[in-house]
Amino acid sequence: MAYVKNLFDRNFLEYASYVIKDRAIPDLEDGLKPVQRRILHTLFEMDDGKFHKVANVSGQCMKYHPHGEASINPALVGIANKELFIDRQGNFGNLYTGDEASAPRYIECRATALAKDIFYNPKLTEWAPSYDGRNKEPVLFPAKIPVVLIMGVEGIAVGMSTKILPHNVIEVLEAEIACLTGKKFDVYPDFPTGGYVDISDYQGGNGKVLVRAKLDTSDPKRILITELPFGSTTESIINSIDAAARNGRIKILGINDFTTDKVEIEIKLARGVYAQETIDALYAFTECEQSISVNLLVIKNGLPAVMTANDIIKYHAKQLVKILTKELELEKRELLDKLHLRTLERIFIEERIYKGIEKMKTAKGVQDAVAAGFKPFLKEIAPRNVSEDDIDHLLRIPIRRISLYDINRAHDEMEQIKTRVKEINAHLKNITAYSVSYLKGIVVKIKDNEEIAGGARKTIVESFDKVIAKEVVNRDVDLKYDARTGYLGTNVSGSKVCEVSPFDRILAIRKNGMYTVMDLPEKAFVGADAWWTGVADKEALAKTTFTVIYKDKDTGFPCIKRCVIEGWIIGKDYFLVPDGAAVLHIDTRPKFTFTVNYAPKPRLKALSENFRAQNFNVRGLKAGGIRLSNKEAEKVTVD
């Protein structure tokens, strides 16, 4: 049994780790989930400057992604619709209406130049075998910008989830520049659907935001929705408005959807209803306003980590410096290798060292002759020596190239290499400034490319309070009570108690002193001759003192209890008086006078006595009442 338990525990942990790291949560380094990384890697492999069928890309990607095209195609469409890293051709769906993309065999895509600039560097990328061992795939791309903030992502793993909102790419890059130059910075969400966002509780990506649609109320008899809140589509917005209208929350004549490449939903208002007075109801009862909770969880150094947006900017600023340093050092090494070979070629051809091999009959003799020929020129090629690989390279130079060798051209090429090496050395000495100039170059490319989204901010940052439905809805529903049958509700044929809203809760105090708070009922039994029924408004009830006059169960002596009803559990029964006591009167006036009439007894001279309610202290709900007299009460009359 212990073996089976350990087996299940180990398998579950392995599965949980796999889902967290390899499926649902993006990595901080390149901001991608594995399926997204594999899609981009496939596009880089297939890149020939032309568009490729998405179906073909999915098929190629399955060499690396074991879960099939059902997960590849939606992920590819999602990246393409960000309009940053994948060029698209064909119908990739409509972000506003929620329409899906065409079948993969009809639409085409290719990697953008920006994607190759940001992600692609095979010489600096760590590689690992694919799931079947036939190919190599990138462990992580050396991404130069904080992609996880720009793209936004949502994922549910085992025991944890992530929801990262998209940010404006220009603002993210400018924040990274500010970080590198030691200036203050902040980044806030920016949504492709526009609208408004309140970031007062954003908490760097671990709190929540309020999002709103953009409404045009210039015409008092209609409202136009021109931008959507994040997470909504025109269809979901219209459905929520229809539902609110059916439930009587808003009064409209109809809805028309004219959305194409821009959002335009027309709401025609009913007679006597105007745009300005309907706005709050739209925010309260429809998807025109939503609260979105966020959780910035990423994989950092192989482990899940909760970070803030500013932390990610700082991390990637350091990572950019490291990546650019590695790229410059790699380019420098390659240029020095090239310069070394070009120098050897020049000496080999100009000094006719190749003539020394004509009389040699063995391969070793040939190599020794070449090595001996370079001895007078070792200072020119210092600090390096002539290696066997160098000699092999020189011996492979064709005769045609030797005969057509251009000394001036070779000299110019070597000078260009030396100039570039000097530039690289200068960049390495001022790597922070070089990193800033690189980011500024990316900003210019994005602003100049109209096909790349994310240049101008689309979502307006504003501060606004969430509209509470209870505060917006009108109290126009009649609450009725039939004292004869004991029924209370909106569907009762009795006398009107008050006007309520569908969100109100109702307090009913029964004849025996038991009280209950309930949701607004259509028809609920509270008993005949109930003492009090009305809206259970906590603020109002906190200022209301209930005065209860009752007769003790055992002695019949009159007692008074003054209290405030403050807290309750919906549907639970509570008692204002001890069990079995007979309630004689309940009143909510702060001051009043009442008379207790006593039962006639031998030698009892005074059969009544007057009292003032305000002379008795207000006590807790669980406290007992105060005895008024030692005489048996019969009834109470109130002035």
How far from 622 is each of 576, 580, 607, CA to CA, in Å? Answer: 8, 16, 31
Question: Strand 196-198 to strand 460-461: parallel, antiparallel, or no bridges (unpaired)?
Answer: parallel
The b/e string for 581-605 (b: 16+ C-beta within 10 A; e otherwise) is bebbbbbeeeeeebebbbeeeeeee
Euclidean distance between CA atoms 78 and 33, whole angstroms: 12
How far from 224 is each of 68, 214, 250, 279, CA to CA, in Å? Answer: 42, 8, 15, 11
Euclidean distance between CA atoms 474 and 494, whole angstroms: 22
Question: Strand 460-461 to strand 108-111: parallel, antiparallel, or no bridges (unpaired)?
Answer: unpaired
The b/e string for 38-60 (b: 16+ C-beta within 10 A; e otherwise) is bbbbbbbebeeeeebbbbebbeb
Q: Are 249 and 279 in contact (CB under 8 A)?
A: no
Q: What are phi and psi of 352, to 5 degrees?
A: 55, 40
How far from 625 is each of 561, 564, 577, 578, CA to CA, in Å? Answer: 4, 13, 8, 9
Euclidean distance between CA atoms 449 and 363, whole angstroms: 57
Residues near 364 by beta carbon (within 8 Å), at least 6 away in sequence: none
**Residue 51: which H helix or E strand, with range?**
none
Euclidean distance between CA atoms 349 and 407, whole angstroms: 9
| Strand-pair partners of 487 | 482, 525
106 catalytic residue (yes or no)? yes
Catalytic residue among 96, 106, 283, 481: 106
Catalytic residue ranges: 106
